[in-house]
Amino acid sequence: MINVNDMNKSFGDLHVLKDINMNITKGEVVVIIGPSGSGKSTLLRCLNLLEVPCDGKITFQGIDITDEKNDINKLRQDMGMVFQQFNLFPHKNVLENITLAPMKLKKINKEKAVKIAMDLLKQVGLEDKHFTYPNQLSGGQKQRIAIARALAMSPDVMLFDEPTSALDPEMVGEVLQVMKQLASDGMTMAIVTHEMGFAKEVADRVVFMDEGSIVEVAEPKKIFSNPENPRTKNFLGKVLSVS
């Protein structure tokens, strides 16, 4: 579904992504892990062109998204994204947050958009919050709304950029639960996270990144119990010994 070929990305002199090759197939959950500053988030943000790669090629459902002839706005409608900082629209209530894009982009009428939104709110367990403004919600609730907002466009793939990193510990579970459900419903997902337990349980494949390169890709069982690369071993040794 998504193919990345020889992608590089630099910010000025800083070479943050080096010769990235990666593919995500339909229905697959790919979890990207690695130390801070390893380029995980940048990689994810390149997938929907929030960051523009310097060279290389990214195809989404066979279409080259880096080709300026292709309408990235149209392509983004099929790629949902969830951010670390939620980024809900504070001047709109929950329902308006969710219905805005479907109504404006898919020209769905309000009645139908609200119905879709209410179904999604039910799915994330927040159907009673539809008229609430984001600032009155907890972090976990905000992130679940953000997931519902992305799902409202019925995307083919969901990108999660450290969705639980800004949450208080007791709220991490409720968000992971929603994501787990999504994964078991067959959604294609790419997730940057520090939640190793979640990665172990939900991922089909785990990608380990360090210093801008993909160091190792393996099934979770393999990478967590018997990593091949010494850098993977070192990193996992540090994070797993804590938890």
Q: Given the complex with other proteins, which of 175 and 218 has the nearer CB atom?
A: 175
Residues binding other proteins: number (CB under 8 A): 30
Instruction: Select the span of 2-10, 69-77, 203-211, 213-221 touching other proteins (CB under 8 A).
Output: 69-77
Minimum CB separation of residue 217 from other proteins in Å reads 25
Q: Given the complex with other proteins, which of 149 and 231 has the nearer CB atom?
A: 149
Instruction: Select the span of 15-23, 147-155, 171-179, 202-210 touching other proteins (CB under 8 A).
Output: 147-155
CA distance 31 to 191: 5
Q: Given the complex with other proteins, which of 51 and 204 has the nearer CB atom?
A: 51
From residue 99 to residue 118, the character string flagging contacts with other proteins as x (rule: CB under 8 A) and all else as - is -xx--xx-------------
**Is residue 92 part of the contact set for other proteins (CB under 8 A)?**
yes
**Is residue 74 part of the contact set for other proteins (CB under 8 A)?**
yes
Q: For the chain, give the number of residues.
A: 243
Residue 47's DSSP bridge partners are none
Among 3, 8, 133, 229, binds other proteins (CB under 8 A): 133
Q: Given the complex with other proteins, which of 117 and 196 has the nearer CB atom?
A: 117
**Is residue 149 part of the contact set for other proteins (CB under 8 A)?**
yes
Give me the sign of the Cα torsion angle 29, 49, 153, 122.
positive
Characterize 217-240 residue by residue with b for buried, 16 or more Cβ atoms within 10 angstroms of its Cβ, and e for exposed. bbebeebbeebeeebbeebbeeee
**Is residue 164 part of the contact set for other proteins (CB under 8 A)?**
no
**Is residue 52 part of the contact set for other proteins (CB under 8 A)?**
no
Among 38, 41, 48, 143, binds other proteins (CB under 8 A): 48
CA distance 176 to 180: 6
Residues that bind other proteins (CB under 8 A): 48, 50, 73-77, 79-81, 83, 85, 87-93, 100-101, 104-105, 133-135, 146, 149-150, 153
